[in-house]
Each structure stands twice: as C-alpha cells, then as structure tokens.
Amino acid sequence: MRTEIVDATRQKEAGTQLGAKIIREGGLVAFPTETVYGLGANGLNGEAVARIFEAKGRPSDNPLILHVSKKSEVRQLWDTLPESANILMDTFWPGPLTLIARKSSIVPDEVTAGLDTVAVRMPANDTARALIRKAGVPIAAPSANLSGKPSPTTAAHVFDDMNGRIPLILDGGACRYGVESTVLSLVGKPTILRPGAITLEMLSALLGEVRVADAVLSPLKENETAASPGMKYKHYAPDAEVIVVTGTPRKAAEKINELYVRAEAEGRHPEIVATEQTKGFYGGKNYVILGSREKPATLCSNLFSYLRSIDRYSDLVLAEGISTKDAGLAYMNRLLRSAGFNNIEV
Ligand code: AMP
Ligand code: MG
C-alpha cells in the first residue's frame, strides 16, 4: 500500500475530505491532534477498528479512545452521563482530557476490548475536528506508532512507523503538547489512569478529591489487573537501556556522573538527559537538555521525539527524575515507563 502524506495546514479542506472518505469506507487515516498523532478508523465499525490493531501490532486487549467533534456526541456513546462529566467537558473540551464512563450498546467491542466502559475525547486540533465532522462518525484512535514505540509527535514519526501500512497521513506539523491525553475514569471515584497536560492539580481544583492509579508511577505487581489495560504493556522504550535517577538535582547528577564514567569504561555510549538547572554538572560529557524543571510541560513535549532519536547514537540513557507536580507527573510516568521502571533513588 502506498502511503500518501497531505499537508493539512495548506490543504485542510481537501485533506480532511479525502480522510473522511477513507474513514467512511472502513480504512485508516493518521491525523494530527494537540497531544500526539492519532491512527483513526470509524469508531462504530468493529471491522474497521480491528485494522488499527493490525497496523500497529497492538495487543487486542488494549482499548481505544473515541474522538468526537461535538460535546453532544457523547450522549450516544455513554450509557449514562456521570455527574461530573458536564463540568469537565465545559472546562477542558476541546482539549487533552479523555473521560471514561459506561458504554452504550452502539460502541463495538473492538473499541473497548470487551470492557463495559468507553473512553471519549474531543480534540482541540482543527484538522482533527474537521476530519471527525466530515466523517460523520466518532473516530477511534490510539497513537499512530507501532505498538511499544514512543508516540509520534510529527508526521515524519508516523511515516517511519506506518509507511506501507496505511493509505493517508494528514500532516499538521509538530503537536502542541507532545504527550498523550490525560485519561480520567468517572466510574466510581474520579481516577487518573494516565496523566497528561490536564493535571491532577487542575482536576482536583474542579472536582475535589481525584485519585491517581498506582500503575502511573510504579510497575504492576504480578497477578495485579490494571485499571487501564494499556498500563501493563512495555511502552516508549528505545533499544538503549534507560536508567532514571531521582533525588535532589546535585545528588542525582553525582550518581549519573558515576554511572556515566563506569559505562564509558565498559565501552558503552551513554548520554545524559539533563535540565536547564543541572547542565553545569556535566561538563565534558554527552548530554541533552529537554527543558527546564520549572516548565515540565516543555520536558513532556520534547521527550518522545528524543526517545525516537536515541538509538542512532547511544546505548545507555541516564535521565534525571523530576518532581511529579503539575505536568511533572506526566513526564515521570512516560520516562519511568520508557525505562521499564528502572529507577535509582539517591
Ligand atoms: P492510546 O490510544 O495509545 O493513547 O491509548 C489509550 C489509553 O487509554 C490506553 O492506555 C488504554 O488502556 C486507555 N483506555 C482506553 N479505554 C479505556 C477504558 N475503557 N478503560 C480504561 N482504560 C482505557
Ligand atoms: Mg499509544
């Protein structure tokens, strides 16, 4: 299959028209959102949705998010509207917040992986919403990467993974947030299953108590079932070994320097993931700065692109852990998962 790339910033009308036609015919289209690129199919057509799992090599027990272009569309997808849903939608939609509630009967099992709940989001990206509106159906879409790889934040990342597997990529440039949506379950007490740009602090300010699922910052124990099936899979991992070092900036830097020297002596090619605040600790060594500790959202937006590039020149990543406040929770969640929870506390 030939994979066509259409520049959706210049040809939004033609691009989304073509994309909507492919979606209606049961095919797959990669499209930009403000979080990461999505790989979309008609969310009400089980056979079309099954093609997403095939193209990504995604385990079939990992459910997808349905994307809508209007708030009113959730009524047909959820069985009942949780009380807090209205205020959340009014405050954060369109935007990077996915809400989970009991599903209605029109949602196919392929979308929910057999669960009785369904995740829904209204994206803020114009191209994404135009595509959904023109398709006339909710679009089921996970991130447009091969399963296990970092989520794509540019059309080039999508092409690297999906070339030959899908007919169309809508190129909308680099994604604004660069990290997947916050996933909030409204079944029972509100619980963050996956942190994102809509933070725990923002949600608690609106709802009062909000829980964070254990699997956000620690690996699942054996025999434990994940609140969100996606959390049990290896994710975002480059071939390089990734080690996270958490502690005060100075102590973490000392430990990282020690590991770096040892790795080099063993003939390895380490690289340090530092922050603006700590770059002074690493003179003469290979390091990258993904942003400032004071702006964890910037660290988030640079992480996936960095993880995709690393295997070209390094076999060991030594990354500083940061505070889990605000967008730091999303950053640490993705970083720890890319490290397989290989974390040294100093
Ligand atoms: P992705 O589409 O790649 O961003 O992944 C979607 C994430 O949402 C995965 O971590 C899923 O496990 C999670 N998810 C989707 N639907 C549900 C659901 N009904 N219940 C719990 N988690 C869900
Ligand atoms: Mg994904």
Pocket residue to mutate for ligand 1, from 193, 211, 235, most atoms within 8 A of Cβ: 193
Pocket residue to mutate for ligand 1, from 67, 103, 158, 183, most atoms within 8 A of Cβ: 183
Give yes or no for residue 178 having a pLDDT over 80: yes
Ligand 1 atom 1, closest CA: 142
Give yes or no for residue 247 having a pLDDT over 70: yes
What's the pLDDT band for 235 if we cut at 50, 70, 90?
A: confident
CA-to-CA distance for 197 and 177, rounded, in angstroms?
7
Contact 118 CB / ligand 1 (< 6 Å) = yes
Domain layout of the chain by residue ranges: 4-216, 241-345
pLDDT in tens, 29-75: 999 999 999 999 999 999 999 999 999 999 889 999 999 999 999 99
Q: What is the pLDDT of residue 237?
A: 82
Contact 65 CB / ligand 1 (< 6 Å) = yes
Contact 191 CB / ligand 1 (< 6 Å) = no
Structure tokens at 254: 């000392």
Contact 333 CB / ligand 1 (< 6 Å) = no
Neighbours of ion ligand 2 (CB under 5 A): 142-143
Assess whether the region 4-216 and the region 241-345 belong to the same CATH fold: no
Residue range 98-123: average pLDDT?
Answer: 97
Contact 64 CB / ligand 1 (< 6 Å) = yes
Residue range 315-320: average pLDDT?
Answer: 97
Separation of CA 5 and ligand 1 centre (Å) = 27
Give yes or no for residue 314 having a pLDDT over 70: yes
Contact 286 CB / ligand 1 (< 6 Å) = no
What's the pLDDT band for 236 if we cut at 50, 70, 90?
A: confident
Contact 195 CB / ligand 1 (< 6 Å) = no
Q: To the nearest whole percent, how much of the chain has pLDDT over 90? A: 91
The CATH T-level fold of domain 241-345 is Rossmann fold (3.40.50)
CB 94 within 8 A of CB 197: no
Half-sphere exposure in the Cβ direction for 273 (13 Å, CA): 31
Give yes or no for residue 315 having a pLDDT over 80: yes
Q: To the nearest whole percent, how much of the chain has pLDDT over 70? A: 97
CATH for 4-216, among 3.90.1010.10, 3.90.870.10, 3.30.1280.10, 3.30.565.10? 3.90.870.10
Ligand 1 atom 5, closest CA: 142
Contact 144 CB / ligand 1 (< 6 Å) = no
**pTM to 2 decimal places:** 0.96
Contact 33 CB / ligand 1 (< 6 Å) = no
